[in-house]
Amino acid sequence: QTLARYERRLAKALAQVVNILDPQVIVLGGGLSNIERLYDRVPRLWAAHVFSDVIRTRLLRNVHGDSSGVRGAAWLWSEN
């Protein structure tokens, strides 16, 4: 039940991102991104909350593991 509640809440939150930004892709990061069922269920759930008949946004797993966000932040660091 807890995981199903998390999926519903994540779907609602990501639907707002889709509504505002209309991204091509949303990439999940962090430890919970390792839950395989999110990538199937969340897009099906967000459809009810997106204000469009056509949703092209894809939900993808990160490529570099659950520390991808930290890796990206490190790349933004400037020595200047």
Residue 79's pLDDT is: 67
33-75 confidence digits (pLDDT tens): 999 999 999 999 999 999 999 999 999 998 888 777 788 888 8
* Predicted pLDDT at 80: 61
pLDDT (tens digit per residue) in 14-33: 999 999 999 999 999 888 99
**Helices 38-46 & 2-21 angle (0-180, nearest 10):** 60
Q: Which residue has the higher pLDDT, 26 or 79?
A: 26
Would you give the distance in Å from CA 20 to the centre of its chain? 14
Domain carrying residue 28: 2-76
**49: three-class secondary structure by DSSP:** helix
Q: Which of 27, 2, 14 is nearest to 55 (CA)?
A: 14
Number of domains in the chain: 1
Give pTM, 2 decimals: 0.83
CATH number at residue 18: 3.30.420.40
34, two tokens? 């390792």
* Res 2 pLDDT > 70: yes
